[in-house]
A and B are shown apart, each in its own frame.
Chain A
Amino acid sequence: MTAPAGDHVSASDEPVQPVRVLVADDDADIRDLVEFKLAQAGYAVEAVADGASAWESFEAHPPQLVVLDVMMPGLSGIDVLRKIRESEHPGVPVLLLSAKSRDSDVDTGFAVGADDYVIKPFSPRELLHRVNGMLARAR
């Protein structure tokens, strides 16, 4: 297993809350395995199945990082990303996870404000490395 990245102990040895990650994907397989992978790495993961729930969760309790599927029913990942960038917490790192692999799709993701873009099929291990890196840079 990868070394925990969601620190549970601060430099002063005082317990701190684990890093919260919001995962939104309408595919139960992807949702479950990303949730499991990140939870195993020490993150506190909330997984939802659509864009509207993702936005609702983000507004209610902004996470430290968001993993968004692009193609979801109702609000797409791009729609949610736009809302995040216009919200009171525009700086939350967002990783888009999508089967849309054309250059124009990736361009759109970054143009709207994604911090990273991972194409499906993806390596769960690589996804974790990217999440760790994004959070490290955000600190």
Chain B
Amino acid sequence: MLTFSAQLLVGATIAVLGTCLVLVIVVIAVRMHRQGRQKRDEMLLAPLRGPLITVASGEDDDGAATEQLTWATGVTRDVLDAAIVDLLTKIRGLPAEQLVGVLTAHGAVDRAKADLHHRSLVRRAKAAQMLGLAGGPDAVPLLVGALGDSTVQVRNSAAWGLGLIGDASAAGAVLAATGGEQGGIPASTSAETLQSMGVGISDVLATAFDDGDARTRMVAAHVTGDRSFTRGLPALRRLLADDPDLTVRETCATAIGRLGRAEDVTVLARHVAVDEPLSLRRACAAALGELGEAGAVPVLATLLDDADPRLAEIAASGLLGLGADGRAALAGREDTAPVRAARTVAELQRASA
């Protein structure tokens, strides 16, 4: 006769095994369902694969293939639309415009506009993606509105779509969403979107330097450096000197390293002083190397003996990249740890290139 605790153990084991079995069955069923659906989609799409590739490759001179795609109906049309959306992430130019025309004829673009307010976040995110890929004059305000969605997935999808369209008029809204309530959009998404909007965003970036939100100022500084908007240099110098947020100051230093001038050696050198935060000193040292100005050599040389080994290594790396003057400053220090590390990193970078 089993004791009560033994019976309990047997019961628990059976329950666990039963649960595992059910989970395995569910996983297999889901996989089979997916595979079945994938096969069905492939079968439905097969007769249209030729016309689809013809249009996507820009070889539909007489419009016959486009017309064939336009006439798809029912489930085939839905499967085709999904395939077109997938293709639109891979191609651009006239073929992409023709495929958008097919989506429009199918009513997919209009449905996407309505779906931006659907209760399913997946539908809303897909709708934002579709509108970004389709573009068009009324997509921008709709996507700007979607930047205020309650979920980050939809907000990100809207920002991605705005980046695809590349309309600089949406730059202000993207920057505002960066520092918005409910989390807004991540700084990296915001920066990536703005970088796709070309030179027309420089005015908006200039005003963003004075925004109350540190993330917005950081994104403005990053994009200014990345896109080489030299008009932003005075603001970058100002924020490097006195922004209350350390990350903003570091980002400004990096940006100045990318687009600064000879006079910025002094600006950056001011912030490698020992009384500055270590992360800022490192960012400024790296920027001095990136700047490529011979005037940075004596500043970086003084950092070779710094108490922070990483800072000394950054200085050595900067000097290695500053030509004969920089290498001369390293003379007699070849066996020191920072210079050895910098040389190893440089060799590894060369080898991996």
Q: Which residues of A contact B (CB under 8 A)?
A: 1, 27, 29-30, 32-34, 36-37, 40, 107-108, 111-112, 120-126
B53 & A123 in contact (Cβ 8 Å cutoff): no
> Contact: A123 with B59, CB < 8 Å?
no
A108–B61 Cα gap in the complex (Å)? 37
A32-B53, A33-B53, A36-B53 known; A121-B92 Cβ under 8 A: yes
B46 interfacial contact with A, CB 8 Å: no
Q: Mark B38-65, 1 if CB is under 8 A from A, else 0.
A: 0000000000010001101111010000
Q: In the bound complex, what is the Cα–Cα distance between A18 and B96 (angstroms)?
A: 29
Contact A124 B53 (CB under 8 A): no
| Docked-complex contact A108 and B92, CB < 8 angstroms | no
Task: Give Cα A36 to B58, complex, Å.
Answer: 10
| Given known A29-B86, A107-B353, A112-B353, contact A123–B91 (CB-CB < 8 A) | yes
> Who on chain B is nearest to A112 by CB?
B353
A96-B91 Cα distance, complex, nearest whole Å: 15
Query: CB of B90 within 8 A of chain A?
Result: yes
Of B57, B61, B89, B352, the contact of A121 (CB 8 Å cutoff) = B89
Q: Does B163 contact A (CB under 8 A)?
A: no
Residue on A nearest B59 in the bound complex, by CB: A40
Partner of A36, one of B59, B86, B89, B92: B59
B301 contacts A by Cβ under 8 Å: no
Q: Does B94 contact A (CB under 8 A)?
A: yes
Residues of chain B contacted by A108 (CB below 8 angstroms):
352-353
CB-CB under 8 A from A37, the residues of chain B are 57-59
Are A29's CB and B353's CB within 8 A? no
Mark interface residues in B84-100 (1 if CB within 8 Å of A CB, else 0).
00111111111110000
A92 to B49, CA, bound (A): 32
24 contacts between A and B (CB under 8 A): A1-B61, A29-B53, A29-B56, A29-B86, A34-B57, A37-B57, A37-B58, A37-B59, A107-B353, A108-B353, A111-B353, A120-B90, A120-B91, A121-B89, A121-B91, A121-B92, A122-B92, A123-B93, A123-B95, A124-B58, A124-B93, A124-B95, A125-B58, A126-B93
Range of interface residues on B (Cβ < 8 Å): 20 to 34
> What DSSP secondary structure best describes chain A's contact surface?
helix
In angstroms, Cα B88 to Cα A64, docked, is 30
- Known contacts A107-B353, A111-B353: does B57 contact A124 (CB below 8 Å)? yes
Complex Cα–Cα for A126 and B89 (A): 16
CA distance A121 to B166 in the complex (A): 14
Q: Which residues of B contact A36 (CB under 8 A)?
A: 53-54, 57, 59
Q: Name the distance in Å between B81's Cβ and chain A's nearest Cβ.
A: 15
Closest chain B CB from A42 CB (angstroms):
13
Q: Which residue of A lies closest to B350 (CB)?
A: A111
Given the complex of chains A and B, what is the CA–CA distance between A103 and B151 in angstroms?
Answer: 32
Chain A residues closer than 8 Å to B58, beta-carbon distance: 37, 123-125
CA distance A126 to B54 in the complex (A): 16
What residues of B have a CB within 8 angstroms of the CB of A29 in the complex? Answer: 53, 56, 86-87, 90
Apart from A36-B57, A121-B88, A124-B95: 17 A-B pairs, beta carbons within 8 A: A29-B87, A29-B90, A32-B53, A36-B53, A36-B54, A108-B352, A112-B353, A121-B92, A121-B96, A122-B90, A122-B91, A123-B91, A123-B93, A123-B95, A124-B56, A124-B93, A126-B93
- Whether A125 contacts B93 in the complex (CB less than 8 A), given A33-B56, A33-B57, A37-B59, comes out as yes
Q: How far is the CA of A41 from the CA of B44 in the complex (A)?
A: 29
A120: chain B residues within 8 A (beta carbon): 90-91
In the complex, what residues of A have CB within 8 A of residue B53's CB? 29, 32-33, 36
* CA–CA, A111 and B53, complex, Å: 33
- When distances are taken between beta carbons in the complex, the residues of chain A under 8 Å from B59 are 1, 36-37, 40
Q: Give B99 Cβ to nearest chain A Cβ, in Å.
A: 11
Give chain A residues whose Cβ lies under 8 Å from the Cβ of B94.
123, 125
CA distance A29 to B90 in the complex (A): 9
Which A residues are CB-close (under 8 A) to B352?
Answer: 108
Instruction: Specify the chain A residue showing the minimal Cβ separation from B92.
Output: A121
Q: Which of B61, B90, B95 has the most CB of A within 10 A?
A: B90
**Complex CA–CA separation, A37 to B59 (angstroms):** 7
How near does chain A come to B51, taking the closest CB pair, in angstroms?
Answer: 11
